[in-house]
Amino acid sequence: MADSNRIFTAENGSAINPDVVSDWFRKFIKTTDLPPISIHSLRHTNATLQIAGGVPITTVAERLGHANETTTGKIYAHAIKSANEAAADTLQDLLNPGYKKNQA
């Protein structure tokens, strides 16, 4: 059995064509009530949730296999902006508990 760092392999551990996994996932989605998404969408969801959860962008970039965090930052700028806004709101709530965002 071949040893690899791959998530999906053939029974003997060797590499498989990525289309095999995509086809399997597409068929799986059709049998559920899930929205029609691609397996690649799960990668984006994973990265976005990590960023929203406060995982450092360098860690997210490494987990995605990006050469540097600049690539990750460009692709996920929307998530970073949302995470920054949430962080600012949290800090505002901590420093000024009586402040309501709607009063601004």
CA distance 3 to 15: 10
| Confidence label for 85 from pLDDT (cuts 50, 70 and 90) | confident
pLDDT at 3: 67
Domain-wise residue ranges, the chain = 1-36, 38-103
Chain segment 28-81, per-residue pLDDT in tens? 999 998 899 998 889 999 999 998 888 999 999 999 999 999 999 888 888 778
**Between the CA of residue 8 and those of 13, 15, 16, 22, 56, what are the distances in Å?**
8, 8, 7, 11, 27
pLDDT at 73: 87
Mean pLDDT value across the chain: 86
